Amino acid sequence: MEKFEKLQGVAAPMPLVNIDTDMIIPKVFLKSIARTGFGKNLFDEMRYNRDGTEIEDFVLNKPQYRNAEILVAGDNFGCGSSREHAPWAIADFGIKCVVSTSFADIFFNNCFKNGILPIVLPQEQVDVLMADAEKGENARMTVDLEAQEITTSDGDVIKFEVDAFKKHCLLEGLDDIGQTLQKQSSIQTYEEQMSQSRPWV
């Protein structure tokens, strides 16, 4: 997993509330357990017509937001089923940070495990970021995880809270497997001791 330290990029505004995981990645695409290849189907039913052509007025199809790395969203983002494919699709598209007033718990935790920073802020601060995102590709935000600050294109600074352990894992690029591998030498020592003391196991 890539380290998340400081991100400066285009923010896409998506003020819809209750965006669920089936809207993020429809169930028809849940045919693989690989973490890649889902980005093209992110928000599929909102991005494409039935014939596969793009819906021009969907935010991520607009030229100024095609390379967005930050998503400013409405309340209760990531609700619905607990599919981990949802953060996989977001990450594969290139979005590394999602800001909302609230997230579904499972989706929220899955984001951290997949290198995405979900930020919870009060509505008035989300409104400020939403308005800044609506300015387009020239309005770049900066998300500084170490300092726990978002800086708007106008230089306004908004502080955010994040769990200390989750912050550490993002800064170090550690998912669950990475955390386990940090203990590799201790695990190997234990296995060697066990093979000597209980060779029949």
So what's the pLDDT on residue 184? 62
pLDDT band at residue 198 under the 50/70/90 scheme: confident
**Beta carbons within 10 angstroms of residue 10's beta carbon:** 20
CA dihedral 56, 94, 75, 175 (to 10 degrees): 160
Handedness of CA 92, 96, 99, 104 (dihedral sign): positive
CA distance 96 to 114: 9
Domains of the chain by start residue, with CATH: 6-174 (3.20.19.10)
Helices 105-113 and 164-172 cross at an angle (nearest 10°) of 30
* Residues 139-154: tens digit of each pLDDT: 899 999 999 999 999 9
**Beta carbons within 10 angstroms of residue 152's beta carbon:** 19
pLDDT band at residue 167 under the 50/70/90 scheme: very high
140 closest CA partner among 122, 154, 124, 158: 154
Residues whose CB is less than 8 angstroms from the CB of residue 18 and which lie 6 or more positions away in sequence, other chains included: 74, 75, 76, 79
* Residues 66-115: tens digit of each pLDDT: 999 999 999 999 999 888 999 999 999 999 999 999 999 999 999 999 99
Average pLDDT, the chain: 91
pLDDT, mean of residues 14-28: 96
- Could you give phi then psi for residue 111, rounded to 5 degrees? -60, -50
What token pair was written down for 93? 């598209």
So what's the pLDDT on residue 187? 58
* Residues 110-134: tens digit of each pLDDT: 999 999 999 999 999 999 999 999 9
Entry pTM: 0.87
